[in-house]
Chains A and B, each alone.
Chain A
Amino acid sequence: MNQHANLHNSALADHAYRVRRNALVMAETQGQGYIAQALGVADVLTVTYFHAMKHRPDQPDWEGRDRFLLSVGHYGIAHYAVLVAAGYLPEEELPTYALDDSRLPMSGMTSYTPGAEMSGGSIGLGLPMAVGMGMGLKRKKSKSFIYTLMGDGELAEGPTWEAAISASNYRLDNIIAIVDFNQVQADGPSMKVMNTEPVVDKFEAFGFYVQRIDGNNLSALVAAFDRAREYAEPKPRIIICDTKMGCGVDFLEGREKSHFIRLGEEDWKRAYEALDKGRSK
């Protein structure tokens, strides 16, 4: 890696730290929540928003923007964390997370939050929505990409595969799907709840350009997003990101039953300390 890339990644690492910290502030507001997912996907979202996407935080409806669709609505906490870091929302709103009249509801919705392009939460809507927007952008001769973030559990949803067939049929090379493959879903380990492997083979068979990478490695993420954007063939793209739930806060990493975590007051303090300690390593 050259020096320029190192500098670039160091800036990204700062952003990733900020995204994680923002998520902790929101989770602490509620004392519980989807904090392990937010910490796990922080690097993916950091690279999406601070490296890959073309966007204007002060102009969320800018026609030339790349679109970002949060399919996993409960990742709202992670999405707001990066939206705040990127400047879509002021930091002061973080402690309103999931409170009444907040612009940061527990499950992401387009009408609530600047920069939220879809109402997810009913799982399996992201890729189908990307298909419609992909068709629309092609009609407009737009060069914009549509990024959609899905969870690994979501791969069991039928509409995801309806959309996969169609994205390939319509050669929607403006779709870059992202799967946060963190191996955990509501009822337990994802591959025990429903084994969707071999995921790479499946998406390749459905006509996608597939990459599978370490989703907590900023350099790997940067390279994968670059390849996805620059890939020449008219195929939809997907990046399977293997991530670690709770990444960056050691005592949350690899914790069992991490889909929805409740912590005491002291533990939240410990979490910030752990995050800072990990950063200084």
Chain B
Amino acid sequence: MSGTSTIAKNAAPVIAASSIDEGHRTKPIPFGNALIELARTRPEIVGMSADLAKYTDMHIFAEAYPDRFYQMGMSEQLMATAAGGLAKEGFIPFATTYATFASRRCYDFMSQAVAEQDASVKLIGGLPGLTTGYGPSHQATDDIAIFRAMPNMVVIDPCDAHEIEQMVPAIADYDGPVYSRILRGNVAVVLDEYDYRFELGKAALLRGGRDVLIISTGFMTMRALDSAKELQADGIDVAVLHVPTIKPLDEMTILREAKRTGRLIVTAENHSCVGGLGEAVASCLSMNGVSAEMRRIALPDRFLAAGTLEVLQERYGITRAAVSRNIRRWL
């Protein structure tokens, strides 16, 4: 070891769960506020968390409705199963933990106590994909793949605060099991500029473009839109199709857009390249006889490093700059 330290002090934060990019307005605690608002008129809504209420924006629901919140302690398996029990008794539990624990820890319990019984449980995963530098224990790079494989599950990755606010009542209205990621804290507001409304199971074309079609989900839609603006200056015309519901997939809209020839198709997701949106779209196209040139922006199939988020997101290619750089390279 040499005596010279190359470690930067006071670097970018390790956790920035919502990954707000420069230039965006923000809104505080969209999930918690939306749930409080919904609970005003829906007495059957209850909240649960496995010792992560504070870090999944459930804490404000717990403060607003202390008698409707169940602190389950660090027992994710119990939380998933007990949520199934509450749903059997006619309640609609919103149960939160980090996305890694929601998926890896709860799998069998969600499968048998919730999905197989088609129980109306809404499992909410904070810290989606690469939104923490804590390393693989906290980086939910496989949650979407895990829940896509579970029959009956609806799987959602919302983009911004605007969408989270609309997603919460929509999934409460849906009588069945749902897994949704959320962004917490101060969350970017992006989609209101695009006259967008969340509809369960629907993809939405946010902007048209002749050269490239980005099919994206989660906050990668924010980056796709920002990248599209950037590439416009280089004369590259990029369309963005936002797919918040990954299961069931809006195949009709995806096929309609993918069939427009002459565009490079790029999928973009804050998730492993295995089992997420990219593979879902590829499967949809090939099973429907649509042959198209496709590229994928996704996290690699490996355990990601620990460190600062800014550096990691750039290293693994999911920043706006990486999206633009790759598209230029692929054209």
Contact = CB atoms under 8 A, between A and B. Distances in A.
Interface stretch (B71-79, B254-262, B273-281): B71-79
Contacts of B108: 122
B12 to A, nearest CB: 37
B86 A133 contact: yes
Interface residues of B, number: 26
Interface stretch (B20-28, B88-96, B207-215): B88-96
A132 B86 contact: yes
Contacts of A158: 77
A267 interface: no
Interface stretch (B109-117, B232-240, B307-315): B109-117
B86 A125 contact: no
Contacts, number: 93
Interface of A is mostly: helix
Contact of B78 (A111, A119, A133, A162): A162
A136 B78 contact: no
A165 B88 CA distance: 21
A132 B87 CA distance: 8
A165 B90 contact: no
A255 to B, nearest CB: 31
Nearest to B77: A159
A131 interface: yes
Interface of B is mostly: helix
Nearest to B44: A139
Given A118-B117, A162-B78, A125 B109 contact: yes
A176 to B, nearest CB: 15
A126 to B, nearest CB: 9
Contacts of B72: 166
B136 interface: no
A128 interface: yes
B81 A128 contact: yes
Contacts of A130: 85
A216 B250 CA distance: 57
Given A118-B113, A133-B86, A166-B72, A125 B91 contact: no
A132 B109 contact: no
B84 interface: yes
Interface of A: 109-111, 117-122, 124-125, 128-137, 139-140, 158-159, 162-163, 165-166, 169-170
6 contacts: A128-B113, A133-B89, A135-B70, A159-B75, A162-B73, A166-B82
